[in-house]
Structure 1
């Protein structure tokens, strides 16, 4: 079965011929190569591009191994493009390209800090090829030697990044063939990694997701960053078990030291967390003081890029739908292109006859340009006290931006007397413009 990734196809289409290298990034095994070499290629062919005008270089295949030399890749492309017709270059697994010392470079005469300049890299040749008016360039790549986030960084303003995620709930539901509630129940447990979604046997699906962590993600990060496997695994377990909870490197280090006897420091934990972010395994959300209009250095929140991977890492022992719903919602907002922070509002409340001032949380401050929306993720508001607890920070924000409470289930949108909108998680996720439609 073919999974259509229309969101990312349309993003590629929108960036065609923009004079930049298009760089598809994202967690390994989320479908980057398939998007480029099948879905996007089919689009080009269906819209009149000749097959011989699409140059495909898969550097992980024996046939193209010689083009890991950037100079050989450069010569190959120049040989195959001619005239004024448009050509498309796809380079898959670009990180397998190695650097080549320039013939005229004498390392004995070059300062040590400048010796990288004595080598030709794929960045050099792609940036040169980018200037060819009849060539449009697309690359993918990520592994322990060069995770895909590095590729986007090195091209800087000369690259257009298309960040790809595992299947969103709407993508999963569209190909699931099940009722919405059943699709949601499955998605909360197994997530949206494409090969896991296509696996009909639940035990095989679980084994695949567990294996990804051990054989791919942890191995990549350990090799690239030189971290200790045991400590990294323990940190992953701690972060995975507390997605959506406020934390910081010091707190995590204390947990590792007391529970796992790691004897580590907050500085080391920060290095590990950065490595996990670079590999797109977790993503952080900073905490924002809504009234003070400033960011807090600490604490912050971490969310798993795919809840199925998170659940597999924990042996499917902590399937807490309220936390997983919040994680899925965070991912959805990021997929839609929003900048997402954790909101904090300071105000006083009466407790035991005393006025106590403290920070209260708004789950998500969602920004895009001048637009802002506040969102609370609440599993249930059936209890009046719980409902009041959740909406009070929204009412105390001190502004008139849109405010939404997202609950579990399939409830239709409605608005209360305070102007706060309510909607179930399922219809919110299935409507790509739900923030504006509510």
Structure 2
């Protein structure tokens, strides 16, 4: 398989060298964190003149390293490798397996010639704890499955066929070595069942794995749709599931979020400038995993594209909300929805996502929420069609999905 260049993440690691912070590489399991650290970053260090014996790598997910899950044993092992005053680079993969890992890493911060990089697949064990524990001395680098641009850099498919493939199977890196549809589908299904769900159940001592299983199915079926714990509880009741509390559902949702399997997107009142807590949307971190979970049924292209666009926006560093715009008409107040409100520093973009703008009526429908916002930030409609960018009479940019996914500057 051709080497996949993960330049976005590699450059973040390179820029963080020697900054006296713990570099925390997070993301869903099998998204390429180990490959990034143990191959791409290690090779960069070697090519930059770092001696091999000054790079210390431990994968805590491997049986041969189980003894190092003890914090004292790990600390003693790392310190035993330090032989001189030159810089040493420590890479610990799946660090959440180490008991009390925060205290071990805290000790490493006090050593002047240690540059530490860790990875893990559980957000609660990592990002929250490390940022708190190190009081600003922990830097998180989130790794995602392959973007469409990364996918295109290694596939031999045409642009059209590549997009169709990507919208169906997603961007888990190991898929690039598989030839048949059957192999890809089986890999994604097994990954979901035998890696993600099994890990969540074992890590959190989940008692109602039947509820967790069905919750995933419900979220996969309703990707991009507004939902709430109350709505989910009612859905379970309609399926005959009894004695299920809202607290259990909230807990199981948190487990899925902490594993990076799904992302929660809050609703934001654009004019009122406040968050609305009652309903939210959920997207999958990889659309192929979502599709595989549903046995590749329910292929609603609009929702699939919406999920892919969301992931790309997050990958580019935007904070993303679902927008709500209230308007008054003869029947009172009506709420219109903007698919995504994207913020990054002083920049803001309002984005609608749809398959086609094949009629004037459809164009007006997609434009309507954007035209009622009433500010000067850029407004965009992304469509599935392969088109040249153009502006509507009202000044809204219409952009093809290809251009959006392949060009980071396409919405600027």
Q: TM-score range by the shorter chain?
A: over 0.9
1:298 aligned counterpart, secondary structure: strand
Residues 238-276 of structure 1 deviation map (CA, whole Å, 9 limit, x = unaligned):
110111111111001101110253542333222111111
- 2:369 aligned partner: 393
- 2:167 aligned partner: 188
How far 1:60 moved relative to its partner?
3.2
Question: Does residue 153 of the first structure (1) align with residue 98 of the second (2)?
Answer: no
- 2:182 aligned partner: 203
- 1:292 aligned partner: 272
How far 1:91 moved relative to its partner?
1.0
Distance 2:140 2:184 in 1: 30
Structure 1 residue runs of 5 or longer lacking an equivalent are 99-120
Q: Pairwise CA RMSD of aligned residues?
A: 1.5
- 2:327 aligned partner: 347
User: Are the aligned partners of 1:234 and 1:260 in contact in 2 as well (CA < 8 Å)?
Assistant: no
- 2:101 aligned partner: 122
- 2:73 aligned partner: 72
Q: 1:387 to 1:265 in 2, by over 3 A?
A: farther
Distance 1:82 1:148 in 2: 34
1:297 aligned counterpart, secondary structure: strand
Q: 1:152 to 1:360 in 2, by over 3 A?
A: same
- 2:155 aligned partner: 176
2:382 aligned counterpart, secondary structure: strand
- 1:373 aligned partner: 349
Output aligned runs, 1:356-367, within 5 Å. 356-367=332-343
Residues 253-309 of structure 1 deviation map (CA, whole Å, 9 limit, x = unaligned):
101110253542333222111111001111011000000000001111000111100
User: Are the aligned partners of 1:25 and 1:163 in contact in 2 as well (CA < 8 Å)?
Assistant: yes
Residues 370-395 of structure 1 deviation map (CA, whole Å, 9 limit, x = unaligned):
11110000111112112111101101
1:382 aligned counterpart, secondary structure: coil
User: Are the aligned partners of 2:58 and 2:92 in contact in 1 as well (CA < 8 Å)?
Assistant: yes
TM-score, scaled relative to structure 1: 0.90
- 2:61 aligned partner: 60
Number of corresponding residues: 406
2:279 aligned counterpart, secondary structure: coil
Question: Does residue 337 of the first structure (1) align with residue 312 of the second (2)?
Answer: no
Distance 1:90 1:413 in 2: 44
How far 1:416 moved relative to its partner?
2.0
User: Are the aligned partners of 2:90 and 2:116 in contact in 1 as well (CA < 8 Å)?
Assistant: yes
User: Are the aligned partners of 2:57 and 2:90 in contact in 1 as well (CA < 8 Å)?
Assistant: yes
Which structure 1 residue ranges, 4+ long, deviate > 6 Å from structure 2? none
Structure 2 residue runs of 5 or longer lacking an equivalent are none
User: Are the aligned partners of 2:356 and 2:385 in contact in 1 as well (CA < 8 Å)?
Assistant: no
User: Are the aligned partners of 2:4 and 2:153 in contact in 1 as well (CA < 8 Å)?
Assistant: no
